[in-house]
Amino acid sequence: MEVFNLENGKAKIIVDQVPKEVEVKCKEATANCPVDAITIEK
């Protein structure tokens, strides 16, 4: 499942809410993003 797309160097969310089954992968993507294009907000 895709949660975001990268557009012009910025991550754009494509879902209204992150499903529980991909939360860990989203946190890993945030931690590993070399340009800090991905952040998590609650």
Q: What is the mean pLDDT of the chain?
A: 88
The whole-model pTM stands at 0.70
Rounded CA gap, 4 and 11, in Å? 6
Res 8: pLDDT:
85
Rounded CA gap, 40 and 42, in Å? 7
Rounded CA gap, 18 and 16, in Å? 7
